[in-house]
Amino acid sequence: MEFHHLGVATADASGLAALFAELFDAPVAHEEEFDGMTVLFLELEPGYFELLEPHEGGAISRYLENHGPGIHHVALQTDDIEGALETARGAGVELIDDEPRPGAWGHEVAFLHPKSTGGVLVEFVSH
Amino acid sequence: MEFHHLGVATADASGLAALFAELFDAPVAHEEEFDGMTVLFLELEPGYFELLEPHEGGAISRYLENHGPGIHHVALQTDDIEGALETARGAGVELIDDEPRPGAWGHEVAFLHPKSTGGVLVEFVSH
């Protein structure tokens, strides 16, 4: 599979975007308000940082409370999320999403439970 | 900059490698013993997972004790680590490594302190 993005939980997406643009030459590729969060995609070559700044309760808000800011998940791109979920199910992996659901930037996404994948929260994404 | 790899702390690199090969079609690209750890690079398109299994004390061993297994850092590839460190220094970022040092797989590497970068542990790598 292809690396698509690294999700980062933050309380200050625009400040972190400005720093990452300076340090990593990673300009903003896309910005939107989604699911109670400011979501900023910063361009790598290839792939993205996805900065997630919550404005209300939810998974990222709880993550910030429990862990502080930092890397939250890795997203891998596939054209066949349902097939990838079927493979994961067959391998005994616990799924967070049984089926693809809409994500930011018009993506279809589905998450695997990190307790099945070595503590790594993995998102399948169809971009 | 280019995404190079995602570093993952684990107590079972070979078991996680077998699972990731099945789930993500990410075969082993390189394996070595380095700095008291088994280090496995798994191929993405492009980039790698870097699985780090410590056999003695050290940063990854402490990470596993304090946080459990999971994503440890992200590595960004640059042909000019010293220039990238200079830019970071100029932006007021605290450095873990003032100069590039040898990493696994013959890389030159240098880490930035995550408290300066939104909780994200960033490695510069010259592959």
3-state secondary structure B97-123: CCCCEECHHHCEEEEECHHHCCCCCEE
Q: By C-alpha distance, which of A22, A114, A57, A58 is closest to B23?
A: A114
Q: Are B91 and A47 inside 8 Å of each other by CB?
A: no
Q: What is the pLDDT of residues B5-35, one digit of tens each?
A: 999 999 999 999 999 999 999 999 999 999 9
pLDDT of residue B45: 85
Question: E strands of B14-100, at which residues?
Answer: 28-34, 37-43, 48-54, 70-77
CA-wise closest residue to B112 among B95, B89, B99: B95
Please state the rounded mean pLDDT for residues B67-82.
Answer: 97
B69: containing domain: 2-126
| CATH at residue A16 | 3.10.180.10
Give me the residue label for tokens 């999971």.
B70
Contacts with A115 from chain B: Cβ below 8 Å: none
Q: Provide the mean pLDDT of chain B.
A: 97
Residue B127 pLDDT class (50, 70, 90 cuts): confident
**Which residues are B2's β-sheet partners?**
B77
Interface test with A, best of B6, B20, B22, B24 (most A CBs within 10 A): B24
CB B84 within 8 A of CB B98: no
**pLDDT 10s digits, B86-117:** 999 999 999 999 999 999 999 999 999 999 99
**Nearest CB to B44 within list A3, A10, A84:** A3
Percent of chain B with pLDDT over 70: 100
Q: Which amino acid is at A10?
A: T
Cα nearest neighbour of B87 on chain A: A23
Give chain A's domain count: 1
Measured distance CA(B3)–CA(B13) in Å, rounded: 21
Average pLDDT, stretch B31-48? 96
pLDDT at A127: 83
Q: Reply yes or no on whether the pLDDT at B125 is more than 90.
A: yes
Q: Please report residues of B whose CB lies closer than 8 A to that of A74.
A: 6, 71
pLDDT band at B59 (very low <50, low <70, confident <90, very high): very high
Other C-beta atoms closer than 10 Å to the C-beta of B27 total 10
Note whether A6 contacts B6, CB cutoff 8 Å.
yes
Radius of gyration of chain B (CA): 14
Query: Does an H or E element contain B66, and which?
Result: helix B59-67
Q: What is the pLDDT of residues A23-35, one digit of tens each?
A: 999 999 999 999 9
Nearest CB to A46 within list B3, B20, B24: B3
pLDDT on residue A28: 97
Quick one: pLDDT at residue A45? Answer: 85
B32 CA: distance to closest CA in chain A (Å): 20
Give every residue of chain A whose pLDDT is below 50, as ranges: none
